[in-house]
Amino acid sequence: MAEPNQSLPVDLFIDLDRSGPVPLYFQISSRIEQAIHDGTLPPGSRLENEVALGNRLGLSRPTIRRAIQELVDKGLLVRRRGIGTQVVHGKVSRGVELTSLYEDLERSGQKPDTRVLSTEIGEADERMAEELGVEVGSPVLHIKRLRSAGGVPIAILDNVLPADFTDIDLGDLSKHGLYQLLRARGVTMRVAKQRIGARDATAHEAGLLDIPKGSAVLTMSRTAFDNSGRAVEWGQHCYRPDLYSFEMTLVER
C-alpha cells in the first residue's frame, strides 16, 4: 500500500482565547494549519470528526466547520462525507494573494528596492477610464517604477490610480510598496482581477531588466477594487521570468 491512510485521528491541544478579538474559528484554523506545517498532522492523516472536535474544545459544530472550511479553501484539507477530513498530500506553498510584489519580496527575506522612473498627473485615456471605471479625461496619477532585489532588477511596474490619490507622497514610493502606501491611507483592497501572460521584451524593457533584447517577460495586469467596489488601482507589470513566477492553489468547490 502506498499511503498509510489508516492513521488515527490526531489530537490537537488548543488554548482558546474567548475574550480577545480573534475569532474562535480563526484560532482553530490557525492551530490546525500550524500542525500541518510542522508535521504534527502529516499528509494523508485524518482529523477528528467535527462533532468530537467540537465537544472536546467546548465549541459548536458550526464554529469547527468554519475553521475547517478555511483550510479547505486554502487547499490544505479535503473533506469527504461519510469519510472524514484529511490533510492533502504534496508540499504546501503560498498561493496568489492580494498583495504586491514588494510584500512578496519582503516576506521571502529579500530586500526590495524601488527606482521611480516617472510620475505624472494626467488625464485618463479610454483604456484607463475603462479599467478604473472613471470618466475619460478625469485626472489620474501615472507611476512607472523599477523594482529590484539585491541590486538585480526584477520587474517594471506601470500603475494608474484615480483622482483621489493624486496627492500621494511620491517620495515614499522609493521606500515603500504602493499597496503599503494605499493601506496607510486607509484604503483596503478587497477584490482584484488580474491576467497573467507573456510576451517578448521591448528594447526599452530589456535594458531596464538587464536581459537580452527580445527575450521573454512575464506580464501581469491587475485592477484592484476597495471594499466599496470602486477601482483603486490599475497596473501593468512585467517581470524577469527567471526571477519571478506566480504560484497558486486551486480548489474545486
Q: Among DNA, a second copy, none, what binds residue 65 when CB lies within 5 to 8 Å by partner kind?
A: DNA
Min dist CB 63 to DNA, Å, is 3
Q: Which does 165 bind (CB under 5 to 8 A by kind): a second copy, DNA, none?
A: none
Q: Which of the listed partners (a second copy, DNA, none) does 230 bind, with a CB threshold of 5 to 8 Å by partner kind?
A: a second copy
Among 135, 167, 169, 210, interactor with a second copy by CB under 8 A: 135
Q: Which of residues 36-55 bind DNA (CB under 7 A)?
A: 47, 49-52
Instruction: Report what 25 binds from DNA, a second copy, none; CB cut-off 5-8 Å by kind.
Output: DNA
| Residue 81 or 91 with smaller CB distance to DNA | 81
Q: Which residue has the cell 488601482?
A: 233
Give phi and psi for 168, each to the nearest 5.
-65, 145
Interatomic CA distance for residues 2 and 39, integer angstroms: 19
- Find the binding residues for DNA in span 115-154 (CB under 7 A): none
Question: Which residues, 81 to 100, sit near a second copy by CB under 8 A?
Answer: 86-90, 93, 96-98
Nearer to DNA, 41 or 173 (CB): 41
Kindly report each contact of residues 212-219 with a partner whose C-beta sits within 8 Å and lies 24 or more positions away, as own/partner: 216/241, 217/241, 218/244, 218/245, 218/246
Q: List beta partners, residue 12.
A: none
22 near a second copy, judged by CB under 8 A:
no
Do the Cβ atoms of 157 and 101 come closer than 8 Å?
yes
Q: Does 184 bind DNA (CB under 7 A)?
A: no
| Helix, coil or strand: residue 38 | coil
**Which amino acid is present at 93?**
S
Are 149 and 111 in contact by the 8 Å Cβ rule? The answer is yes
Stretch of 14-22, 104-112, 116-124, 221-229 lying at the interface with a second copy (CB under 8 A): 221-229
Question: If binding is defined by CB under 7 A, does position 85 make contact with DNA?
Answer: yes
Q: Quick one: which H or E segment has residue 130?
A: helix 126-132
Among 40, 119, 215, 236, binds a second copy (CB under 8 A): 215
Q: Among 109, 119, 116, 110, which Cα is nearest to 151's?
A: 110
CB nearer DNA, residue 54 or residue 177: 54
Is there a contact between 223 and 233 (Cβ–Cβ < 8 Å)?
yes
Residues making contact with DNA (CB under 7 A): 21, 23-26, 47, 49-52, 58-63, 65-66, 79-85
